[in-house]
């Protein structure tokens, strides 16, 4: 079930009645839990009870002390619900730093919002949310709620320390079910495993507990936090999902259930649409080019709208409805595109994926569950040329995923059942930003000339925000993208090649007054006009996590300047070269006659590196920043 009770990634909840007996004086928090903490979970009790295949109950208590303003979001309560997931009760109490009650709240203070869509046409997933209005620190929020769900396919994971800066004094997780209800579970980073038993009613119980977890501190280039946070995930063997029964033991069986029960008979298209796609592709022999044509037809006809409808938000609209209404969510648009491809005898796979740009999060190969993913993409398995597509964008090229779903394991629904596949990886050499500029610096220090930039791989989308803007707005936006003071744009053009190796090309003609300042007979100007690195990761003592570079990229710049006649370089030329396992950098300059030529190449290589290299990473970025700030000094040539 798409539940979520989120408090900055993990919900915090606790019983007001039980809390009244607790002492939440912040001074009682163990001192060793305070370093790097913005909040401390004082006590948490998460209980899931399966009463029947169509009846599970969540009972959650939690108290969290917020130490400073960075922890406010940890105290935000968000409870997801819909017509099948019903909130039964909510109540809570707010305490000041001394543990004295200053407020209490119930469900009436929560705001209820539709998170599926702003359109009133859809009844989807909703969320009740509440954040106490407290501005004196520390304070504690203790609350409790109960929610009933009409399904047993999804169970929320237990993640006591799901975000940076949250320490945990005590947390427990109890799963209760009948003797004939069997589960699989996945434990991660726990000091002790499950305790299995029976309660007084003869029900099976699975119990986990943890205490005195220190806060995870922020470290630049950290791996995905859930890779090293403590957690338990639960998956059923048999289940019921809003009236549909099923069972699975692995990804193949789960994929087969989705295909048979949620996807069946949803791809029929109107006769006119089938004939139309046949007509527009009749002169295209290459299957991949034919699929590209259909994908572009789908993009031009439809638009994306986020909705949670159908069976629990997992079942797509009928393809015929999308064809008529011209919109859909990720599920609906992939299903519709599949139907269009099927009309011209091209097979494709509906693929379930965990999306996200910051980290590439794969489905767990050894643990199948429905709750690991949040997005749908399309796979077209051409012979020796598997091609992927995201159907929610009206602009990206066919075969291009970008950084939202790249380089991760996904579940493909094949005729044989679910199959784990891996999406394409965009390497550092593919993700290329290349720039060539030819400038002249006049006798009064004005810069003028042309600059052409190309963007490939992940960088292809770097200028998407400009494409549909007016020329005036484009000029304003480009001026903000480049650190060239006083830049005025004389001409601007941007083009996107949407072939199977897509590239965006930006061409600018510009001038900038006073780019080179003149003082005491000398000209001064920055050698790197357009692409200066400004980020240096902070030093981290006693780093705990490995260094993770999610995806690499390459920048190549070549800039030439025709300098004022009769001048030469005063100081030592720039000649920087760095070679590290995680990256490379070169920057050189050369004066030939009256032309100064600057070349720069920066490359960051994706991968995971031992935490011991982190000081080298900091030094590497600092050296790049220093080189990018190199100032040219021109002096008059001696007669």
Is 628 in the same domain as 486? yes
Is 409 in the same domain as 438? no
Mean pLDDT of 152-164: 95
- Residue 306's pLDDT is 72
Is 65 in the same domain as 163? yes
Collapsing DSSP to helix, strand or coil, 587 comes out as strand
What are the tens digits of pLDDT across the range 200-257?
999 999 999 999 999 999 999 999 999 999 999 999 999 999 899 999 999 999 999 9
What are the tens digits of pLDDT across the range 218-227?
999 999 999 9
Q: What confidence tier does 269 reach under pLDDT thresholds 50, 70, 90?
A: very high
Is 275 in the same domain as 408? yes
Q: Which residue range is the domain that position 505 belongs to?
A: 432-636
Is 167 in the same domain as 284? no
Is 538 in the same domain as 619? yes
Q: What is the CA radius of gyration of the chain?
A: 29
Q: Would you say residue 2 has pLDDT above 80?
A: no
Q: Identify the domain boundary among 422, 451, 474.
A: 422
Is 288 in the same domain as 367? yes
What are the tens digits of pLDDT across the range 328-366?
999 999 999 999 999 999 999 999 999 999 999 999 999
626 Cβ contact partners less than 8 Å away, ≥ 6 residues apart = none
Q: What is the CATH number of the domain that holds 225?
A: 2.60.40.3140
377 Cβ contact partners less than 8 Å away, ≥ 6 residues apart = 330, 334, 351, 353, 388, 389, 390, 391, 401, 405, 410, 423
Mean pLDDT of 307-315: 66
Domains in the chain, number? 3
Helix (H) or strand (E) holding 591: strand 583-592
622 domain residue, yes or no: yes
**Of 97, 214, 217, 82, residue with least CA distance to 151:** 82
Mean pLDDT of 610-626: 98
5 domain residue, yes or no: no
**Of 396, 382, 366, 226, residue with least CA distance to 295:** 396
Which carries the bigger pLDDT value, residue 94 or residue 571?
94
Q: Which region, left, alpha or beta, applies to residue 288 given φ > 0 means left and ψ of -120 to 50 means alpha? A: alpha
Percent of the chain past pLDDT 90, that is, above it, reads: 87
pTM for this predicted structure: 0.91
Is 158 in the same domain as 211? yes
Helix (H) or strand (E) holding 278: helix 271-281
38 domain residue, yes or no: yes
294 domain residue, yes or no: yes
78 Cβ contact partners less than 8 Å away, ≥ 6 residues apart = 4, 5, 6, 7, 11, 127, 128, 129
Mean pLDDT of 308-333: 85
279 domain residue, yes or no: yes
Q: What confidence tier does 459 reach under pLDDT thresholds 50, 70, 90?
A: very high
Q: What is the CATH number of the domain that holds 470?
A: 2.60.120.1130
Q: Would you say residue 124 has pLDDT above 90?
A: no
282 domain residue, yes or no: yes
Q: Would you say residue 563 has pLDDT above 90?
A: yes
What are the tens digits of pLDDT across the range 520-540?
999 999 999 999 999 999 999
Is 230 in the same domain as 267? no
584 domain residue, yes or no: yes
- Residue 12's pLDDT is 34
- Residue 21's pLDDT is 54
Q: DSSP code of 572?
A: P
Beta bridge partners of 141: 64, 94
Q: What confidence tier does 20 reach under pLDDT thresholds 50, 70, 90?
A: very low
79-118: burial string, b at 16+ Cβ within 10 Å, e else: bbbbebbebeebbbbbbbbebeeeebbebeebeeebbbbe
Which carries the bigger pLDDT value, residue 6 or residue 39?
39
Which carries the bigger pLDDT value, residue 346 or residue 1?
346
Mean pLDDT of 177-195: 96
Is 262 in the same domain as 305? yes
Is 263 in the same domain as 409? yes
Q: Would you say residue 639 has pLDDT above 80?
A: no
- Residue 19's pLDDT is 41
Q: Would you say residue 118 has pLDDT above 70?
A: no
Collapsing DSSP to helix, strand or coil, 441 comes out as strand
243 domain residue, yes or no: no
What are the tens digits of pLDDT across the range 393-404?
999 999 999 999
Between the alpha carbon of residue 248 and those of residues 1, 241, 510, the distances in Å are 16, 13, 62
- Residue 127's pLDDT is 85
Q: Identify the domain boundary among 366, 398, 422.
A: 422
| DSSP track, 343-354 | HTT---EEEEE-
Q: Would you say residue 567 has pLDDT above 90?
A: yes
Helix (H), strand (E) counts: the chain: 9, 36
Q: Identify the domain boundary among 402, 422, 442.
A: 422
**Of 204, 228, 232, residue with least CA distance to 216:** 228
Is 285 in the same domain as 187? no
What are the tens digits of pLDDT across the range 465-507?
999 899 999 999 999 999 999 999 999 999 999 999 999 999 9
Helix (H) or strand (E) holding 341: helix 330-343
Pairing of strands 303-304, 327-328: parallel
């Amino acid at each position: 079930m798409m539940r979520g009770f989120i408090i900055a990634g993990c919900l915090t909840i606790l019983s007001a009645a039980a809390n009244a007996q607790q002492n939440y004086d912040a001074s009682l928090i163990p001192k060793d839990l305070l370093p790097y903490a913005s909040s401390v979970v004082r006590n948490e009790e998460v209980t899931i009870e399966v009463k029947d295949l169509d009846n599970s109950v969540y009972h959650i208590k939690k108290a969290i002390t917020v130490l400073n303003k960075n922890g406010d979001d940890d105290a935000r309560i968000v409870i997801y619900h819909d017509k099948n997931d019903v909130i039964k009760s909510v109540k809570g109490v707010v305490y000041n730093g001394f543990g004295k009650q200053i407020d209490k709240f119930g469900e009436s203070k929560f705001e209820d919002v539709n998170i599926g869509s702003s359109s009133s046409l859809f009844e989807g997933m909703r969320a009740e949310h509440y954040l106490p209005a407290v501005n004196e620190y520390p304070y504690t929020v203790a609350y409790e709620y109960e929610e009933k769900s009409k399904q047993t396919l999804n169970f929320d994971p237990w993640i006591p320390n799901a975000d940076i800066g949250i320490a945990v004094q005590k947390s427990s997780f109890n799963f209760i079910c009948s003797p004939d209800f069997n589960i699989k579970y996945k434990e991660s980073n726990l000091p002790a495993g499950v305790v299995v038993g029976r309660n007084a009613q003869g029900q099976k119980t699975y119990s986990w507990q943890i205490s005195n977890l220190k806060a995870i501190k922020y470290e630049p280039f950290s791996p995905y936090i859930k890779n090293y946070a403590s957690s338990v995930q639960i998956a059923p063997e048999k289940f019921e999902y809003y009236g549909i029964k099923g069972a699975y033991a692995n990804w193949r069986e789960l994929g087969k259930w989705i295909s048979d029960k949620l996807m069946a008979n949803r791809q029929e298209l109107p006769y006119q649409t089938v004939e139309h796609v046949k007509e527009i592709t009749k002169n295209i022999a290459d299957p991949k080019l034919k699929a590209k044509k259909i994908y572009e037809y789908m993009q031009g006809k439809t638009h994306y709208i986020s909705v949670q409808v159908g069976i629990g938000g997992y079942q797509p609209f009928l393809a015929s409805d999308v064809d008529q209404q011209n919109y859909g969510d990720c599920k609906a648009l992939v299903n519709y595109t599949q139907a269009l491809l099927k009309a011209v005898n091209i097979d494709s796979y509906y693929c379930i994926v965990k999306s996200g740009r910051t980290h590439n999060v794969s489905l767990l190969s050894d643990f199948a569950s429905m709750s690991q993913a949040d997005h749908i993409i399309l796979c077209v398995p051409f012979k020796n040329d598997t091609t992927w597509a995201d159907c929610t964008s009206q602009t990206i090229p066919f075969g291009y995923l970008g950084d939202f779903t790249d380089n991760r394991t996904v579940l493909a629904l094949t005729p044989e059942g679910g199959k784990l596949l891996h999406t394409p990886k965009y390497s550092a050499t593919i993700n290329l930003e290349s720039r060539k500029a030819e400038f002249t610096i006049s006798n009064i220090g004005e810069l003028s000339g042309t600059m052409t930039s190309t963007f490939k791989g992940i960088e292809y989308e770097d200028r998407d925000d400009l494409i549909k803007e007016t020329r005036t707005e484009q000029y304003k936006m480009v001026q903000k993208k480049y650190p060239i003071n006083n830049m005025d744009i004389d001409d601007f053009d941007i083009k996107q090649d949407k072939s199977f190796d897509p590239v965006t090309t930006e061409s600018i003609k510009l001038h900038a007054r006073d780019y080179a300042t003149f003082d005491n007979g000398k000209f001064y100007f920055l050698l790197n006009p357009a692409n200066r690195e400004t980020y240096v990761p902070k030093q981290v003592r006693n780093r705990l996590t490995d260094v993770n570079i999610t995806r690499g990229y390459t920048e190549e710049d070549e800039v030439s300047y025709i300098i004022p006649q009769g001048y030469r370089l005063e100081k030592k030329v720039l000649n920087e070269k760095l070679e590290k396992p995680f990256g490379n950098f070169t920057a050189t300059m050369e004066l030939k006659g009256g032309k100064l030529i600057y070349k720069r190449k920066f490359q960051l290589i994706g991968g995971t590196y031992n935490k011991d290299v982190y000081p080298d990473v900091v030094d590497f970025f600092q050296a790049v920043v220093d080189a990018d700030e190199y100032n040219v000094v021109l002096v008059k040539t001696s007669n």
